[in-house]
């Protein structure tokens, strides 16, 4: 679950958030207010763990 610090929008990253990839960079933007919730290079993106 990802939460927007500006407008309190909350949803899983895979549902509703705008994900913009440019080369090795990834930016996650709130669809309601445009706040950049996360910006990082793909090298620093955590790898999801298999449970």
Tens digit of pLDDT for each residue in 2-51?
999 999 999 998 899 999 998 899 999 999 999 999 999 866 556 566 65
The token pair that represents 26 in the structure block? 């990834």
The pLDDT assigned to 5 comes to 96
* CA separation for the pair 16, 39 (Å, rounded): 17
Domain boundaries, the chain: 2-44
* CA separation for the pair 4, 37 (Å, rounded): 6
């Amino acid at each position: 679950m990802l939460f927007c610090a500006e407008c309190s929008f909350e949803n899983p990253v895979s549902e509703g958030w705008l994900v913009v990839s440019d080369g090795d960079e990834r930016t996650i933007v709130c669809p309601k207010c445009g706040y950049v919730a996360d910006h990082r290079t793909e090298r620093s993106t955590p790898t999801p763990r298999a449970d």
